[in-house]
Structure 1
Amino acid sequence: MLLTKFTHACVRLEKDGTALVLDPGNFSEVEEAVSGAAAILITHEHADHFDKDRIAAALRAAPEMAVHAPEGVAAQLREELDDGAAVRVHSVEPERSYTIAGFAVQTFGGQHALIHPHIPLVKNIGYLIEGTLYHPGDSFIVPHGVQVQTLLVPVHAPWSKTAEVIDFVTAIRAPRAHQIHDALLNETGLAMVEGHVSRLGKHYGTDFRHLAPGESVSL
Protein backbone atom coordinates (compact mmCIF):
# COMPACT_ATOMS: atom_id res chain seq x y z
CA MET A 1 0.00 0.00 0.00
CA LEU A 2 1.35 3.42 -0.98
CA LEU A 3 0.77 6.43 1.29
CA THR A 4 1.04 9.95 -0.13
CA LYS A 5 0.95 12.92 2.27
CA PHE A 6 -0.84 16.09 1.22
CA THR A 7 -0.95 19.38 3.09
CA HIS A 8 -2.40 19.26 6.61
CA ALA A 9 -4.60 16.21 7.38
CA CYS A 10 -5.10 14.82 3.87
CA VAL A 11 -3.53 11.54 2.76
CA ARG A 12 -4.02 9.28 -0.27
CA LEU A 13 -3.68 5.49 -0.13
CA GLU A 14 -3.18 3.32 -3.20
CA LYS A 15 -3.43 -0.46 -3.46
CA ASP A 16 -3.94 -2.76 -6.44
CA GLY A 17 -4.69 0.17 -8.74
CA THR A 18 -7.33 1.68 -6.42
CA ALA A 19 -7.05 4.90 -4.42
CA LEU A 20 -8.66 5.92 -1.13
CA VAL A 21 -8.36 9.51 0.17
CA LEU A 22 -8.81 10.71 3.76
CA ASP A 23 -9.74 14.23 4.86
CA PRO A 24 -9.28 16.46 1.80
CA GLY A 25 -9.87 19.80 3.50
CA ASN A 26 -9.52 23.45 2.56
CA PHE A 27 -5.79 23.55 3.42
CA SER A 28 -5.12 20.63 1.08
CA GLU A 29 -4.64 20.03 -2.64
CA VAL A 30 -8.12 18.51 -2.96
CA GLU A 31 -8.34 18.09 -6.73
CA GLU A 32 -4.91 16.47 -6.94
CA ALA A 33 -5.53 14.22 -3.94
CA VAL A 34 -8.90 12.87 -5.11
CA SER A 35 -8.12 12.57 -8.82
CA GLY A 36 -9.02 9.04 -9.91
CA ALA A 37 -9.87 7.96 -6.36
CA ALA A 38 -12.55 5.35 -5.80
CA ALA A 39 -13.59 6.68 -2.38
CA ILE A 40 -13.10 9.48 0.12
CA LEU A 41 -13.24 9.08 3.90
CA ILE A 42 -14.03 12.08 6.11
CA THR A 43 -13.33 12.05 9.85
CA HIS A 44 -15.46 15.09 10.77
CA GLU A 45 -17.13 18.23 9.50
CA HIS A 46 -14.50 20.95 10.09
CA ALA A 47 -13.43 22.62 6.87
CA ASP A 48 -9.74 21.77 7.23
CA HIS A 49 -10.79 18.11 6.88
CA PHE A 50 -13.91 18.46 4.71
CA ASP A 51 -13.93 20.92 1.81
CA LYS A 52 -17.60 20.47 0.98
CA ASP A 53 -17.67 22.45 -2.27
CA ARG A 54 -14.62 20.83 -3.84
CA ILE A 55 -15.60 17.33 -2.73
CA ALA A 56 -19.09 17.84 -4.18
CA ALA A 57 -17.51 18.99 -7.44
CA ALA A 58 -15.31 15.89 -7.49
CA LEU A 59 -18.34 13.64 -6.99
CA ARG A 60 -20.21 15.31 -9.85
CA ALA A 61 -17.20 14.87 -12.13
CA ALA A 62 -16.49 11.22 -11.23
CA PRO A 63 -19.58 8.99 -11.28
CA GLU A 64 -17.63 6.04 -9.85
CA MET A 65 -16.44 7.92 -6.72
CA ALA A 66 -18.07 7.52 -3.28
CA VAL A 67 -17.78 9.35 0.04
CA HIS A 68 -18.02 7.78 3.50
CA ALA A 69 -18.40 10.07 6.52
CA PRO A 70 -20.19 10.61 9.83
CA GLU A 71 -23.91 11.23 9.28
CA GLY A 72 -23.73 15.00 9.86
CA VAL A 73 -21.06 15.35 7.18
CA ALA A 74 -22.90 13.02 4.82
CA ALA A 75 -26.13 14.99 5.22
CA GLN A 76 -24.38 18.29 4.40
CA LEU A 77 -22.85 16.80 1.29
CA ARG A 78 -26.09 15.21 0.07
CA GLU A 79 -27.77 18.63 0.19
CA GLU A 80 -25.22 19.89 -2.36
CA LEU A 81 -25.82 17.07 -4.84
CA ASP A 82 -28.54 15.79 -7.13
CA ASP A 83 -30.04 12.38 -6.45
CA GLY A 84 -27.65 10.60 -8.79
CA ALA A 85 -24.57 11.74 -6.88
CA ALA A 86 -26.17 11.83 -3.41
CA VAL A 87 -26.66 8.06 -3.40
CA ARG A 88 -22.86 7.70 -3.43
CA VAL A 89 -22.57 9.46 -0.07
CA HIS A 90 -22.62 6.93 2.77
CA SER A 91 -22.81 7.32 6.55
CA VAL A 92 -20.36 5.49 8.81
CA GLU A 93 -20.62 4.74 12.51
CA PRO A 94 -17.90 4.14 15.12
CA GLU A 95 -16.89 0.66 16.23
CA ARG A 96 -17.71 -0.93 12.88
CA SER A 97 -15.87 -2.77 10.11
CA TYR A 98 -16.38 -1.92 6.44
CA THR A 99 -14.96 -2.79 3.06
CA ILE A 100 -14.61 0.44 1.10
CA ALA A 101 -13.23 0.43 -2.45
CA GLY A 102 -11.47 -2.84 -1.68
CA PHE A 103 -9.83 -1.52 1.51
CA ALA A 104 -10.58 -3.02 4.93
CA VAL A 105 -11.68 -0.16 7.20
CA GLN A 106 -12.32 -0.18 10.96
CA THR A 107 -13.80 2.83 12.74
CA PHE A 108 -13.02 4.11 16.23
CA GLY A 109 -13.97 6.98 18.51
CA GLY A 110 -16.99 9.08 17.80
CA GLN A 111 -16.25 12.51 19.28
CA HIS A 112 -13.96 15.40 18.34
CA ALA A 113 -11.46 16.44 20.98
CA LEU A 114 -12.62 19.33 23.17
CA ILE A 115 -11.49 22.73 21.89
CA HIS A 116 -13.31 24.82 24.53
CA PRO A 117 -16.53 24.36 26.53
CA HIS A 118 -18.09 27.23 24.55
CA ILE A 119 -17.41 25.44 21.23
CA PRO A 120 -19.87 22.60 20.54
CA LEU A 121 -18.44 19.14 20.03
CA VAL A 122 -18.95 17.35 16.72
CA LYS A 123 -18.68 13.71 15.74
CA ASN A 124 -15.24 12.46 14.75
CA ILE A 125 -14.39 9.00 13.48
CA GLY A 126 -10.87 7.57 13.36
CA TYR A 127 -10.12 5.11 10.57
CA LEU A 128 -7.84 2.07 10.66
CA ILE A 129 -7.06 1.05 7.08
CA GLU A 130 -6.05 -2.50 6.15
CA GLY A 131 -5.42 -3.23 9.83
CA THR A 132 -2.22 -1.21 9.69
CA LEU A 133 -2.61 2.57 9.13
CA TYR A 134 -4.50 4.73 11.64
CA HIS A 135 -5.84 8.23 10.89
CA PRO A 136 -7.46 9.58 14.08
CA GLY A 137 -8.93 12.79 12.65
CA ASP A 138 -9.18 15.37 15.43
CA SER A 139 -8.89 13.08 18.41
CA PHE A 140 -6.43 11.12 20.47
CA ILE A 141 -8.61 8.01 20.61
CA VAL A 142 -6.42 4.92 20.96
CA PRO A 143 -7.88 2.07 18.88
CA HIS A 144 -8.50 -1.04 20.96
CA GLY A 145 -7.90 -4.66 20.08
CA VAL A 146 -5.47 -3.88 17.25
CA GLN A 147 -1.76 -3.21 16.80
CA VAL A 148 -1.31 -0.13 14.65
CA GLN A 149 1.74 -0.37 12.39
CA THR A 150 1.73 3.17 10.97
CA LEU A 151 0.29 6.07 12.95
CA LEU A 152 -0.68 9.45 11.51
CA VAL A 153 -0.04 11.94 14.31
CA PRO A 154 -1.95 15.25 14.64
CA VAL A 155 1.09 17.24 15.74
CA HIS A 156 -0.64 20.58 16.34
CA ALA A 157 -4.22 21.80 16.80
CA PRO A 158 -6.32 24.31 18.78
CA TRP A 159 -7.49 21.36 20.86
CA SER A 160 -4.11 19.88 21.83
CA LYS A 161 -0.79 20.49 23.51
CA THR A 162 2.55 18.85 22.81
CA ALA A 163 2.41 16.66 25.92
CA GLU A 164 -0.84 15.12 24.69
CA VAL A 165 0.65 14.49 21.25
CA ILE A 166 3.56 12.64 22.84
CA ASP A 167 1.26 10.65 25.13
CA PHE A 168 -0.83 9.62 22.11
CA VAL A 169 2.23 8.34 20.26
CA THR A 170 3.60 6.47 23.26
CA ALA A 171 0.21 4.93 24.06
CA ILE A 172 -0.20 3.45 20.58
CA ARG A 173 3.47 2.39 20.19
CA ALA A 174 3.24 1.96 16.43
CA PRO A 175 6.54 0.98 14.80
CA ARG A 176 6.20 3.88 12.37
CA ALA A 177 4.62 7.34 12.55
CA HIS A 178 4.21 10.37 10.29
CA GLN A 179 2.76 13.80 10.93
CA ILE A 180 -0.61 15.22 9.93
CA HIS A 181 -2.51 18.35 11.04
CA ASP A 182 0.61 20.48 10.62
CA ALA A 183 -0.51 23.41 8.41
CA LEU A 184 -0.78 25.95 11.24
CA LEU A 185 2.85 25.58 12.35
CA ASN A 186 5.80 27.42 10.85
CA GLU A 187 9.07 25.56 10.27
CA THR A 188 10.43 26.45 13.71
CA GLY A 189 7.38 25.24 15.60
CA LEU A 190 7.06 22.09 13.53
CA ALA A 191 10.71 21.17 14.08
CA MET A 192 10.32 21.63 17.83
CA VAL A 193 7.19 19.49 18.15
CA GLU A 194 8.43 16.79 15.82
CA GLY A 195 11.75 16.71 17.65
CA HIS A 196 9.99 15.90 20.92
CA VAL A 197 7.77 13.28 19.25
CA SER A 198 10.72 11.65 17.51
CA ARG A 199 13.01 11.60 20.55
CA LEU A 200 10.44 10.34 23.05
CA GLY A 201 8.67 8.04 20.60
CA LYS A 202 11.89 6.10 20.14
CA HIS A 203 11.77 5.09 23.82
CA TYR A 204 8.55 3.22 23.01
CA GLY A 205 9.60 1.70 19.69
CA THR A 206 8.17 4.34 17.35
CA ASP A 207 10.21 5.59 14.41
CA PHE A 208 8.79 9.02 13.54
CA ARG A 209 9.56 10.53 10.14
CA HIS A 210 8.37 13.81 8.64
CA LEU A 211 6.68 13.63 5.24
CA ALA A 212 6.66 16.68 2.98
CA PRO A 213 3.48 17.44 0.99
CA GLY A 214 3.51 15.20 -2.07
CA GLU A 215 5.95 12.70 -0.57
CA SER A 216 5.04 9.01 -0.70
CA VAL A 217 6.07 5.97 1.33
CA SER A 218 5.28 2.27 0.98
CA LEU A 219 3.56 0.63 3.93
Structure 2
Amino acid sequence: MKLTKYTHACVRLEKNGGVLVIDPGTFSETAEALDGARAVLVTHEHKDHIDVAAVKSALTENRELEFFAPLGVADALRIEAADALSRIHTVEPGKSFEAAGFDVRSFGGQHALIHPQIPLVANIGYLVDGNVYHPGDSFVIPDGISVQTLLVPVHAPWNKVSEVVDFVIGVRAPRAFPIHDALLNGTGLDLVEGHVKRLGAKYGTEYAHLSARESVEL
Protein backbone atom coordinates (compact mmCIF):
# COMPACT_ATOMS: atom_id res chain seq x y z
CA MET A 1 0.00 0.00 0.00
CA LYS A 2 1.25 3.46 -0.92
CA LEU A 3 0.41 6.40 1.33
CA THR A 4 0.79 9.96 0.10
CA LYS A 5 0.39 12.86 2.51
CA TYR A 6 -1.07 16.14 1.34
CA THR A 7 -1.14 19.46 3.21
CA HIS A 8 -2.87 19.24 6.58
CA ALA A 9 -5.20 16.27 7.14
CA CYS A 10 -5.53 14.77 3.65
CA VAL A 11 -3.97 11.43 2.71
CA ARG A 12 -4.23 9.27 -0.40
CA LEU A 13 -3.92 5.47 -0.26
CA GLU A 14 -3.23 3.34 -3.35
CA LYS A 15 -3.34 -0.45 -3.69
CA ASN A 16 -3.88 -2.77 -6.65
CA GLY A 17 -5.20 0.07 -8.80
CA GLY A 18 -7.62 1.29 -6.14
CA VAL A 19 -7.34 4.83 -4.78
CA LEU A 20 -8.84 5.91 -1.45
CA VAL A 21 -8.65 9.52 -0.20
CA ILE A 22 -9.28 10.63 3.38
CA ASP A 23 -10.22 14.20 4.34
CA PRO A 24 -9.63 16.25 1.18
CA GLY A 25 -10.11 19.63 2.84
CA THR A 26 -9.71 23.24 1.82
CA PHE A 27 -6.14 23.41 3.18
CA SER A 28 -5.08 20.53 0.94
CA GLU A 29 -4.32 19.93 -2.74
CA THR A 30 -7.77 18.45 -3.20
CA ALA A 31 -7.95 18.17 -7.00
CA GLU A 32 -4.59 16.40 -7.10
CA ALA A 33 -5.47 14.08 -4.23
CA LEU A 34 -8.85 13.16 -5.76
CA ASP A 35 -7.52 12.47 -9.25
CA GLY A 36 -8.50 8.92 -10.16
CA ALA A 37 -9.92 8.17 -6.71
CA ARG A 38 -12.59 5.50 -6.33
CA ALA A 39 -13.57 6.37 -2.75
CA VAL A 40 -13.45 9.31 -0.36
CA LEU A 41 -13.70 9.03 3.43
CA VAL A 42 -14.44 12.18 5.42
CA THR A 43 -14.09 12.25 9.20
CA HIS A 44 -16.23 15.32 9.93
CA GLU A 45 -17.79 18.50 8.58
CA HIS A 46 -15.08 21.14 9.13
CA LYS A 47 -13.76 22.77 5.96
CA ASP A 48 -10.16 21.77 6.60
CA HIS A 49 -11.36 18.17 6.23
CA ILE A 50 -13.81 18.47 3.34
CA ASP A 51 -13.69 20.83 0.38
CA VAL A 52 -17.35 20.49 -0.61
CA ALA A 53 -16.95 22.13 -4.00
CA ALA A 54 -14.01 19.92 -4.95
CA VAL A 55 -15.73 16.73 -3.77
CA LYS A 56 -18.95 17.66 -5.59
CA SER A 57 -16.98 18.25 -8.77
CA ALA A 58 -15.19 14.93 -8.40
CA LEU A 59 -18.48 13.06 -7.89
CA THR A 60 -19.90 14.69 -11.02
CA GLU A 61 -16.88 13.96 -13.19
CA ASN A 62 -16.09 10.46 -11.86
CA ARG A 63 -19.13 8.17 -11.87
CA GLU A 64 -17.19 5.45 -10.07
CA LEU A 65 -16.39 7.62 -7.06
CA GLU A 66 -18.03 6.63 -3.75
CA PHE A 67 -18.30 8.97 -0.75
CA PHE A 68 -18.45 7.98 2.94
CA ALA A 69 -18.98 10.33 5.91
CA PRO A 70 -20.98 10.93 9.11
CA LEU A 71 -24.69 11.67 8.67
CA GLY A 72 -24.52 15.47 8.72
CA VAL A 73 -21.74 15.59 6.14
CA ALA A 74 -23.39 13.01 3.91
CA ASP A 75 -26.77 14.78 4.05
CA ALA A 76 -25.21 18.15 3.18
CA LEU A 77 -23.45 16.64 0.19
CA ARG A 78 -26.67 14.95 -0.96
CA ILE A 79 -28.12 18.43 -1.37
CA GLU A 80 -25.07 19.67 -3.28
CA ALA A 81 -24.67 16.57 -5.48
CA ALA A 82 -28.19 15.26 -6.01
CA ASP A 83 -27.12 13.31 -9.10
CA ALA A 84 -24.80 11.15 -6.98
CA LEU A 85 -27.20 10.08 -4.21
CA SER A 86 -26.57 6.36 -4.66
CA ARG A 87 -22.83 6.92 -4.19
CA ILE A 88 -23.05 8.97 -0.97
CA HIS A 89 -22.99 6.77 2.13
CA THR A 90 -23.57 7.51 5.82
CA VAL A 91 -21.04 6.02 8.25
CA GLU A 92 -21.64 5.31 11.93
CA PRO A 93 -19.08 4.21 14.54
CA GLY A 94 -18.42 0.50 14.88
CA LYS A 95 -19.10 -0.43 11.27
CA SER A 96 -17.11 -2.31 8.61
CA PHE A 97 -17.34 -1.78 4.87
CA GLU A 98 -15.39 -1.96 1.62
CA ALA A 99 -14.24 1.12 -0.29
CA ALA A 100 -12.09 1.14 -3.45
CA GLY A 101 -10.85 -2.35 -2.67
CA PHE A 102 -9.85 -1.47 0.90
CA ASP A 103 -11.40 -2.87 4.07
CA VAL A 104 -12.51 -0.03 6.36
CA ARG A 105 -13.60 0.02 10.00
CA SER A 106 -15.08 3.06 11.75
CA PHE A 107 -14.42 4.26 15.30
CA GLY A 108 -15.25 7.14 17.61
CA GLY A 109 -18.26 9.30 16.96
CA GLN A 110 -17.48 12.73 18.38
CA HIS A 111 -15.10 15.59 17.58
CA ALA A 112 -12.71 16.58 20.36
CA LEU A 113 -13.80 19.51 22.52
CA ILE A 114 -12.52 22.89 21.28
CA HIS A 115 -14.39 25.01 23.84
CA PRO A 116 -17.60 24.48 25.86
CA GLN A 117 -19.28 27.29 23.87
CA ILE A 118 -18.45 25.67 20.52
CA PRO A 119 -20.92 22.87 19.64
CA LEU A 120 -19.51 19.40 19.17
CA VAL A 121 -19.94 17.67 15.82
CA ALA A 122 -19.77 14.05 14.72
CA ASN A 123 -16.31 12.65 13.94
CA ILE A 124 -15.44 9.22 12.58
CA GLY A 125 -11.98 7.67 12.72
CA TYR A 126 -11.13 5.20 9.96
CA LEU A 127 -8.91 2.11 10.09
CA VAL A 128 -7.96 1.03 6.56
CA ASP A 129 -6.94 -2.56 5.78
CA GLY A 130 -6.22 -3.17 9.47
CA ASN A 131 -3.18 -0.97 9.01
CA VAL A 132 -3.63 2.82 8.66
CA TYR A 133 -5.65 4.70 11.28
CA HIS A 134 -6.82 8.26 10.56
CA PRO A 135 -8.57 9.61 13.69
CA GLY A 136 -9.88 12.85 12.20
CA ASP A 137 -10.19 15.45 14.95
CA SER A 138 -10.13 13.16 17.95
CA PHE A 139 -7.82 11.06 20.05
CA VAL A 140 -10.12 8.03 20.14
CA ILE A 141 -8.06 4.84 20.39
CA PRO A 142 -9.50 1.94 18.35
CA ASP A 143 -10.61 -0.90 20.59
CA GLY A 144 -9.85 -4.55 20.04
CA ILE A 145 -7.26 -4.09 17.28
CA SER A 146 -3.58 -3.32 16.81
CA VAL A 147 -2.89 -0.31 14.59
CA GLN A 148 0.21 -0.65 12.41
CA THR A 149 0.40 2.89 10.99
CA LEU A 150 -0.90 5.83 13.00
CA LEU A 151 -1.67 9.25 11.50
CA VAL A 152 -1.10 11.76 14.29
CA PRO A 153 -2.94 15.12 14.53
CA VAL A 154 0.11 17.05 15.73
CA HIS A 155 -1.56 20.45 16.21
CA ALA A 156 -5.10 21.83 16.43
CA PRO A 157 -7.25 24.30 18.40
CA TRP A 158 -8.50 21.28 20.35
CA ASN A 159 -5.23 19.65 21.41
CA LYS A 160 -1.98 20.21 23.28
CA VAL A 161 1.39 18.47 23.07
CA SER A 162 0.84 16.24 26.09
CA GLU A 163 -2.38 14.90 24.55
CA VAL A 164 -0.66 14.25 21.24
CA VAL A 165 2.07 12.26 22.99
CA ASP A 166 -0.44 10.34 25.13
CA PHE A 167 -2.39 9.41 22.00
CA VAL A 168 0.72 7.99 20.35
CA ILE A 169 1.64 6.13 23.54
CA GLY A 170 -1.92 4.80 23.90
CA VAL A 171 -2.15 3.44 20.36
CA ARG A 172 1.43 2.08 20.35
CA ALA A 173 1.58 1.61 16.60
CA PRO A 174 4.98 0.52 15.23
CA ARG A 175 5.10 3.59 12.95
CA ALA A 176 3.48 7.01 12.89
CA PHE A 177 3.30 10.00 10.57
CA PRO A 178 1.92 13.54 11.00
CA ILE A 179 -1.37 15.00 9.88
CA HIS A 180 -3.20 18.19 10.87
CA ASP A 181 -0.07 20.31 10.76
CA ALA A 182 -0.93 23.24 8.46
CA LEU A 183 -1.30 25.76 11.31
CA LEU A 184 2.28 25.29 12.52
CA ASN A 185 5.34 27.03 11.13
CA GLY A 186 8.61 25.13 10.82
CA THR A 187 9.79 26.00 14.31
CA GLY A 188 6.58 24.86 15.96
CA LEU A 189 6.42 21.67 13.93
CA ASP A 190 10.00 20.74 14.82
CA LEU A 191 9.24 21.26 18.50
CA VAL A 192 6.07 19.15 18.56
CA GLU A 193 7.49 16.39 16.39
CA GLY A 194 10.60 16.25 18.53
CA HIS A 195 8.51 15.44 21.61
CA VAL A 196 6.39 12.89 19.75
CA LYS A 197 9.41 11.15 18.24
CA ARG A 198 11.42 11.01 21.47
CA LEU A 199 8.63 9.96 23.82
CA GLY A 200 6.86 7.70 21.34
CA ALA A 201 10.07 5.74 20.80
CA LYS A 202 10.09 4.78 24.49
CA TYR A 203 6.86 2.87 23.84
CA GLY A 204 7.81 1.28 20.52
CA THR A 205 6.55 3.85 18.00
CA GLU A 206 8.86 5.06 15.25
CA TYR A 207 7.65 8.51 14.26
CA ALA A 208 8.77 10.05 10.96
CA HIS A 209 7.97 13.37 9.32
CA LEU A 210 6.18 13.46 5.97
CA SER A 211 5.97 16.65 3.93
CA ALA A 212 3.13 17.52 1.59
CA ARG A 213 3.12 15.27 -1.52
CA GLU A 214 5.64 12.89 0.08
CA SER A 215 4.85 9.18 -0.17
CA VAL A 216 5.76 6.05 1.76
CA GLU A 217 5.20 2.34 1.09
CA LEU A 218 3.49 0.49 3.93
Using the size of structure 2 for normalisation, the TM-score is 0.99
Question: After the TM superposition, which residues 86-165 of structure 1 pair with which residues of structure 2 at under 5 Å, given as runs?
Answer: 86-165=85-164
1:168 aligns with 2:148: no
1:11 aligns with 2:5: no
Question: What is the RMSD of the two structures over their aligned residues, measured on CA atoms?
Answer: 0.6
Residue type of the alignment partner of 2:11: V
User: Which one is further off, 134-143 or 52-61?
Assistant: 52-61
- Equivalent in the alignment of 1:53: 53
Residue type of the alignment partner of 2:62: A
Using the size of structure 1 for normalisation, the TM-score is 0.99
- Equivalent in the alignment of 1:210: 209
Q: How far 1:186 moved relative to its partner?
A: 0.2
Q: Which runs of 5+ in 1 are unaligned?
A: none
Classify the secondary structure of the residue corresponding to 2:3. strand
Q: Does structure 1 retain, via aligned residues, the 8 Å contact 2:66–2:99?
A: no
Classify the secondary structure of the residue corresponding to 1:169. helix
Residue type of the alignment partner of 1:193: V
1:140-171 Cα distance to aligned partner (Å, 9 max, x none): 00001000000000000000000000000001
Question: Would you say how many aligned residue pairs link Structure 1 and Structure 2?
Answer: 218
Residue type of the alignment partner of 2:23: D
1:164-196 Cα distance to aligned partner (Å, 9 max, x none): 000000011100000000000000000000000
- Equivalent in the alignment of 1:180: 179
Residue type of the alignment partner of 1:88: R
- Equivalent in the alignment of 2:25: 25
Classify the secondary structure of the residue corresponding to 2:107. strand
Residue type of the alignment partner of 2:22: L
Moved over 3 A (4+): none
- Equivalent in the alignment of 1:37: 37
Classify the secondary structure of the residue corresponding to 2:168. helix
Classify the secondary structure of the residue corresponding to 1:152. strand
Matched residues in 1 for 2:52 and 2:161: separation? 30
Q: How far 1:26 moved relative to its partner?
A: 0.3
Q: How far 1:86 moved relative to its partner?
A: 2.2
Matched residues in 1 for 2:172 and 2:92: separation? 25
Identity of aligned residues (%): 62
Q: Which runs of 5+ in 2 are unaligned?
A: none
Matched residues in 1 for 2:185 and 2:28: separation? 16
Q: How far 1:214 moved relative to its partner?
A: 0.6
Matched residues in 1 for 2:81 and 2:199: separation? 46
Classify the secondary structure of the residue corresponding to 1:159. coil
Matched residues in 2 for 1:60 and 1:96: separation? 27
1:10-51 Cα distance to aligned partner (Å, 9 max, x none): 000000011000000000000000000000000000000011
Matched residues in 1 for 2:186 and 2:101: separation? 37
Matched residues in 1 for 2:8 and 2:171: separation? 21
Matched residues in 1 for 2:191 and 2:215: separation? 23
